[in-house]
Amino acid sequence: MEQRPHLARHYRGLPWLVAIAMFMQMLDVTILNTAIPAMATQLGTSPFSLHAVILAYGLAVAVCTPASGWLADRFGNRRVFAGSLLLFTAASLAAGLSQSLGFLVVVRVLQGAGAALMVPVGLATILHHYPRDRYLRVMNYVTIPGLVGPLAGPLLGGWLTEYASWRWIFFINVPVGVLGLMLIRRCMPDYRQVSAHRFDTFGFVLFAGGIALLTTALDALGQNAWPTSVALPLALLALVPLWLCTRHFGRHPAPLFSPALWQQRGYRAGILATLLGRLGTGAVPLLVPLQLQLALGFSPTKAGIYIGVASIGAIGAKPLMPMLIRRCGRARLLTATNVLLALATWAFGWLTPDSAGVLILLLLLLNGALNSTQYTVLNAATVTELTPGLTNMGNTGWITAMQLSMAFGIAVGSLLLAALAPAGHAGTALLPAFHWTFAVLAVLTLVAVWFGRAVRERPADA
């Protein structure tokens, strides 16, 4: 039986509390991108290999997210949210104190584990607490403060890296996390789903093991860390546990992901559109700052200022979402967005040192608005189709799909860039490598158009 508190007055701060969690997560992701060249210099490694710090975080989010629904049902949304926020804050502090690349990767995994529980549990609480006809409007208010993170992240990351130290990009999360911990009891209701079933440990191990092995093999292949004769068979071997876990889900009484989710047409279309749509765009936030600094000669601060413009586009697009969905429909809007995203991604590859600053700013502004539109439509088209009993599981499934596609996008984009970049070269010699990398990512985004056309319409979106 599900326990549901009343829509009490003192829970009106719930959207802002979840926005704090999203702010921390998004700040942490974007603030790191402009700092990678400087971090690589201090840690004595290549900027192309330091993407492991970002990949470790994204992979941890994708792998741990499926556990968030069961933990929230078992221990309550409030308790799980508080624990994950504490873990994320403590890991941020440890990341700022790290002295080696290996230790930094480990604490980034812990950060990802905290985010994997913190954000989906917060979003699921909003889905529980508000009527479906108010969900899209509330989510717009939640994500607007969360989008301040991507706006402030590149600016702060570039400025701190150039004038202070990259370590401060992690310390910023600490006061924000402490504020969130102080607000939890007042702002967050406590939902839990009483279940007689235990956590699907075997399914989780199969799923997590397959994903971790596949991503590690792809990363090693791109960085030439392992011979191709080893990395490629391991990547193929990773498909075995992933196939086994799908069979396991069909037999388990309480699987990690119920087959009933896949039987819902709207949810199935939303997941496929998410996997392919975010796969093509997942590496762009990592590749563009590298392109600006390594190939176009931007300073960290200047690159941060330019990248921050993308967040202005994302914030500006949010208030328009209800009107656009009402007039265009989910499927048509998502199709147009994916086509334009593919063109914008392809256009990044044509930038040169002679490109006008205004052109670069407009391209980043458009990319931010389109990414925000894609996220909002995919979220509305996927999670609002769920029946109440599948809310937590389905919500975590969608977030897992989004994080997986972005993690694989980073792995694929980094693999392509490392393979195409001339060894020992910098500056304009890197431009052809960026050109072809962005071209491949644009094609992947176009593939998502077919699945985006199948998402279901819903009058309540208006």
User: What does the pLDDT read at residue 110?
Assistant: 93
Determine whether 236 is exposed, middle or buried from the number of CB atoms within 10 Å of its CB (0-12, 13-18, 19+): exposed
Look at residue 459 and tell me whether its pLDDT is greater than 70: no
Neighbouring-strand partners of residue 192? 3
Q: How far apart are CA 269 and CA 330, in angstroms?
A: 12
Q: Tens digits of per-residue pLDDT, 205-228?
A: 888 888 888 877 777 766 666 667
Mean pLDDT of the chain: 79
What tokens appear for 402 in the block?
Answer: 């989004």
Return the higher-pLDDT residue of 202 and 224. Answer: 202
3-state secondary structure of 322: helix
18/149 Cα distance (integer angstroms):
13
pLDDT at 13: 73
> Could you give the count of Cα atoms lying within 13 Å of 260 in the half-sphere of its Cβ?
15
Beta bridge partners of 3: 192
Q: In this predicted model, what pLDDT tens digit does every residue of 39-52 receive, in sequence order?
A: 877 777 777 667 77
Lowest mean pLDDT among 7-11, 102-106, 379-383: 7-11
What CATH superfamily is the domain 12-188+256-461?
A: MFS general substrate transporter like domains (1.20.1250.20)
pLDDT at 147 over 70: no
Neighbours of 244 (CB within 10 A): 16
Which has more confidence, 196 or 282? 282
| CA pair distance 462, 459, nearest whole angstrom | 6
- CA separation, residue 66 to residues 21, 256, 409 (Å): 18, 7, 20
Contact 330, 457 (CB under 8 A): yes
Q: Are the C-beta atoms of 18 and 78 separated by less than 8 Å?
A: no
Average pLDDT over every residue of 432-454: 83
* Residue 268 CB burial class (10 angstroms; 0-12, 13-18, ≥19): middle
Residue 298: which pLDDT band, with cuts at 50, 70 and 90?
Answer: confident
Instruction: Using the predicted structure, report yes or no on whether residue 385 has a pLDDT greater than 70.
Output: no
Task: Answer whether residue 128 shows pLDDT above 80.
Answer: no
Distance CA 180, CA 47 (A): 33
User: Which of 341-350, 380-389, 397-406 is predicted least confidently?
Assistant: 380-389
Q: Please state, in angstroms and rounded to a whole number, the distance separating the CA atoms of residues 402 and 406.
A: 6
pLDDT of residue 362: 92
| pLDDT (average), residues 17-40 | 78
What CA–CA distances, in Å, run from 452 to 144, 229, 317, 374? 24, 37, 19, 10
- According to the model, what pLDDT value does residue 9 have? 46
User: By mean pLDDT, which of 103-112, 274-283, 355-364, 427-436 is the weakest?
Assistant: 274-283
Residues 6+ apart with CB under 8 A from 99: none
H helix runs in 318-430, sequence order: 321-328, 330-348, 357-383, 391-420
The pLDDT score that the predictor gives to residue 305 is 82
91: burial class by Cβ within 10 Å (0-12, 13-18, 19+)? buried
The per-residue pLDDT for 150 is 65
| % residues pLDDT > 90 (the chain) | 8
Alpha carbon distances (Å) from 230 to 225, 235, 371, 413? 10, 9, 36, 21
- How far apart, in whole angstroms, are the C-alpha atoms of residue 322 and residue 319? 7
CB neighbour list of residue 62: distance below 8 Å, 6 or more residues apart: 116, 211, 400, 403, 404, 407
- The pLDDT of 173-187, averaged and rounded, is 84
Residue (of 53, 52, 59, 66) closest to 108 by Cα position: 53
Per mean pLDDT, which range of 35-44, 192-201, 295-304 is the poorest? 192-201
The Cα 82–Cα 181 span in angstroms is 6
The Cα-based distances of 259 to 124, 147, 402 in angstroms read: 20, 33, 19
Residue 169 class from Cβ within 10 Å (0-12 exposed, 13-18 middle, 19+ buried)? Answer: buried
